[in-house]
């Protein structure tokens, strides 16, 4: 008998956007399929979701058996995910959840983002818009508390901000996963110099000034800093004084980005942290280990706890001298990388997207 599940996202997915909120749902859907599931999706704008929901309801009425419903929340409140952000489908998604629950199908949801809980959100969204958004986020949480069997978070630390709304007995952790890439040694593309790679955001939560200053002081090490072009244009004045010949700024994607991974020996998840970033689990850490790269991370974060536990890199304090010291040591003793790389390969096997999907199946399948 074929295995079947429902995959729900209350918004439109842009497959061309290289952000975790767009990539993760696609990775999870593929992982369920690779684990043997026929996946019926509910995603897109409200009009599309309504049609998909009607089809699934018809399937259930005709005897189709679904093992579970897995959902991933939007970064916006569920009721505001249309292009114009007006709540024109107020009962669509949670009405569907209620229907699924009545039919004895368990529901698990990954809660993507609680940035709205922090003061910075109030600074960026002001006045009436802020009040409406907060009330809508709170409405989502009330519905989740009533309807979910599992409420998944990126890290356990996130729950400290949700204790008032979500009961502990449904809370679990479902961090990002990785896709394991070719493990053949990358000798053909190395220059002999130690090369670090940073892929991700610049500015706001991702302050990289100390990284760039440190690399400027260690000419025997190269840094490839890959970010979105518009972010770099906004932030480059803050870094211009420290850019050297060993620091390369690029805006790669697709195969071009894969070539950068093949050039590097170490990935960076090392940046100044605020309260929000201390509990976030960066998507980039799992991209690094999927490409066989050990990771340098700064102490006191969820990411550094993972790096330390899995023995996949180096956890150091966030300051220029400490980073410079480590880089100088590694540049003259690259044999240290071989041992770390073996740990990375083993950790990647334990942290694939397929393993994440299997966890959901174990916990929700009847």
Cβ contacts of 202 within 8 Å, gap of 6 or more: 208, 225, 227, 228, 231, 232, 235
Output the pLDDT for position 17.
Answer: 67
What is the Cα 64 distance to its own chain's centre?
32
Angle at 67 between CA 65 and CA 68, to 5 degrees: 120
Output the pLDDT for position 258.
Answer: 92
- Mapped onto helix, strand or coil, the DSSP state of residue 53 is helix
Q: Residue 212 in contact with residue 223, Cβ under 8 Å?
A: yes
CB < 8 Å & 24+ apart, contacts of 238-246:
238/209, 239/208, 239/209, 239/212, 242/209, 242/212, 242/213, 242/216, 243/212, 243/216, 244/215, 244/216, 244/219, 245/219, 246/193, 246/215, 246/216, 246/218, 246/219, 246/221, 246/222
Output the pLDDT for position 112.
Answer: 87
Q: What is the DSSP letter of 352?
A: B
Q: What is the DSSP letter of 267?
A: E
Output the pLDDT for position 215.
Answer: 94
Number of neighbours of residue 324 by Cβ within 10 angstroms: 18
Q: What share of the chain is helix, strand, coil (3-state, %, to 5)?
A: 50, 15, 35
Q: Residue 43 in contact with residue 78, Cβ under 8 Å?
A: no
What is the Cα 363 distance to its own chain's centre?
21
- The per-residue pLDDT for range 114-127, each reduced to its tens digit, is 889 888 888 888 88
Helix axes 302-310, 283-290, angle to 10 degrees: 30
- If you search the block for the tokens 């950068």, which residue do you land on? 260
CA dist., res. 319 & res. 309, Å (int): 22
Output the pLDDT for position 16.
Answer: 67
CA dist., res. 366 & res. 363, Å (int): 8
**One pLDDT digit (tens) per residue for the chain, 366 residues:** 789 999 999 999 876 666 777 889 999 999 999 999 999 999 999 999 999 999 999 999 999 999 999 999 999 999 999 999 999 999 999 999 999 999 999 999 999 888 898 888 888 888 899 999 999 999 999 999 999 999 999 999 999 999 999 999 999 999 999 999 865 455 444 447 899 999 998 887 788 889 999 999 999 999 999 999 999 999 989 898 999 999 999 999 888 999 999 999 999 999 887 777 788 898 999 999 999 999 999 999 999 999 999 999 999 999 999 999 999 999 988 888 888 999 999 999 999 999 999 999 999 997
Paired tokens of 238: 């803050």
Output the pLDDT for position 39.
Answer: 98
Q: Residue 110 in contact with residue 71, Cβ under 8 Å?
A: yes
Q: Residue 59 in contact with residue 39, Cβ under 8 Å?
A: no
Q: What is the pTM of this model?
A: 0.92
Task: Note the residue count of the chain.
Answer: 366
């Amino acid at each position: 008998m074929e295995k079947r599940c429902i995959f729900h996202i209350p918004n439109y997915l842009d497959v061309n956007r290289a952000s975790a909120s767009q990539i993760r749902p696609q990775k999870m859907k593929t992982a369920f399929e690779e684990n043997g599931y026929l996946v019926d999706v509910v995603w897109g704008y409200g009009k599309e979701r309504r049609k998909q929901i009607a089809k699934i309801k018809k399937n259930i009425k005709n005897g189709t058996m679904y093992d579970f419903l897995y959902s991933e929340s939007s970064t916006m409140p569920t009721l505001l995910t249309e292009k114009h952000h007006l709540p024109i489908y107020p009962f669509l998604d949670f009405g569907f959840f209620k229907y699924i629950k009545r039919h004895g199908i368990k529901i698990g949801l990954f809660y993507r983002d609680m940035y709205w809980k922090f003061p910075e959100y109030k600074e960026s969204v002001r006045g009436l818009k802020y009040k409406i958004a907060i009330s809508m986020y709170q409405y989502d949480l009330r519905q989740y508390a009533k309807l979910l069997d599992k409420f998944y978070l990126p890290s356990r630390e996130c729950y400290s901000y949700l204790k008032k709304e979500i009961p502990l007995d449904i809370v679990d952790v479902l961090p990002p996963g990785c896709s394991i890439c070719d493990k053949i040694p990358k000798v053909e593309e190395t220059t002999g110099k130690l090369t670090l790679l940073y892929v991700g955001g610049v500015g706001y939560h991702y302050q990289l000034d100390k990284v760039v200053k440190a690399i400027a002081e260690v000419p025997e090490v190269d840094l490839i800093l890959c970010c979105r072009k518009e972010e770099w244009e906004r932030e480059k004045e803050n870094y211009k004084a420290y850019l050297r010949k060993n620091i390369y700024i690029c805006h790669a994607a697709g195969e071009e980005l894969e070539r950068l991974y093949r050039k590097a020996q170490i990935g960076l998840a090392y940046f100044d942290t605020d309260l929000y970033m201390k509990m976030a689990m960066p998507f980039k850490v799992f991209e690094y280990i999927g490409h066989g790269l050990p990771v340098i991370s700064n102490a006191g974060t969820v990411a550094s706890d993972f790096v330390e536990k899995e023995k996949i890199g180096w956890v150091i304090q966030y300051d220029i001298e400490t980073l410079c010291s480590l880089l100088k040591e590694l540049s003259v003793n690259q044999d240290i990388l071989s041992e770390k790389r073996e740990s990375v390969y083993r950790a990647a096997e334990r942290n694939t997207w397929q393993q994440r999907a299997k966890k959901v199946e174990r916990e929700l399948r009847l």
